[in-house]
Structure 1
Amino acid sequence: MRGGGAGDIATLPGEGRTCQILLGVAHAGLGNSKNAIRQLLQEEQEILAQPIDFDWYRLLFLEWGLSNAHLMQGDLSNARFRAAKFVERAQATDEMCWCALAWEMSSRIAMLGEEDDLALNSIMRAIDTVESRHVPLAAWRVYHTAATIYAKRGDMAQAHKYAERFSLAHQSLIESLPEQHQSRHTLGGLHLDITSA
């Protein structure tokens, strides 16, 4: 970690960067988007100033975190900007999970910004990614967003189709975890209600 004080644990530079990004994402997860954004932007500056191995991968996680944090603040302009960078960075890799999540993020932001055609186009790119490349870690989230977008458009047949896919992908992910894993409980609490979209 940063600091170098007597009680600090020595880490490799990459580990330290990953921890700092995780800290920023944790701030966002706890609802502290202002600290999340500050933390993630600071880490981005360090990565861009002195890149090391695998920073390209860390930047994907960082962009996901920044997009979410700006979205939490209701700052669609910055969320859109970060999501565009997220898509650009993800598309430059072979990391299909991140590609799907980048397109899903772009679609959520477009949906909230009332950009219905862009939302649909982006979620279709995400769906194509998870279905053509088998990306189970992203599939449940992509299908959730797809169902919401279609419900918002009033296309309930498509909304139900993707709600069903969400349920199957979601349940499959839960069942892939060990019985006592904390995430089984967390994921089990997620539900999709397309009637209120």
Structure 2
Amino acid sequence: MTTARDLMIVALDMGPGRPVEPGDVSLALAGAELIDLMEAGALVLEGERIVPGLQPATGDRLLDHAASSLVRERPYESVEDWLWRRGRGLYSAHLAALESEGLVTRARGRWIPVRTGRTALADSPARRQATERRAAAEPVLAALAAAAGVHDEPADDFPDEADDAVVTVLAAVGEAVTELEAVRQRRKIEDAAFDNIWRGQ
């Protein structure tokens, strides 16, 4: 299991009453993949630049794809650029991967036996492991989940035991999510202004 996969499961486990923003989760997933790849020895950070190393097989299809998509030419990619590039559509990619493994199902309507848009997590060892990590407040997972809006309260501090590279990634995820929220707010204001023009206000 990877931190990225555990994060996705934790995000889905919030239930329909507490939806999360797929864009926020996608950025956090991209950060989680970077941390997983660092732990696998597939990259190191030099400042905020991602320097690729060996490309070991991780046993996780999405993580292997992430490793293969690292920029391997100088000046290398920044953590911020990686989050925006890799994060695009990553929520959907991780959801599809969980579905293909039978870890997530589409709920069926009560009266009509067709799939609805709602997803349901299957009871599985993967779900139990992610739940245990969350309950134990595993620091890196907790920080990423907070950035993605999964926790009620945002993380105020980074894990004490995290090294500088992990802190760099966590900080970049937080900044990217904040930037994405600012974009959303601007669009809401612009849309509201456009609607007012058409209403003659």
Same fold? TM cut 0.5: no
Instruction: Give the TM-score normalised by the residue count of structure 2.
Output: 0.30
Q: Which has the higher helix share?
A: 1
Instruction: Give the TM-score normalised by the residue count of structure 1.
Output: 0.30
Which structure has more relative contact order (CA 8 Å, sep 6+)? It is 2
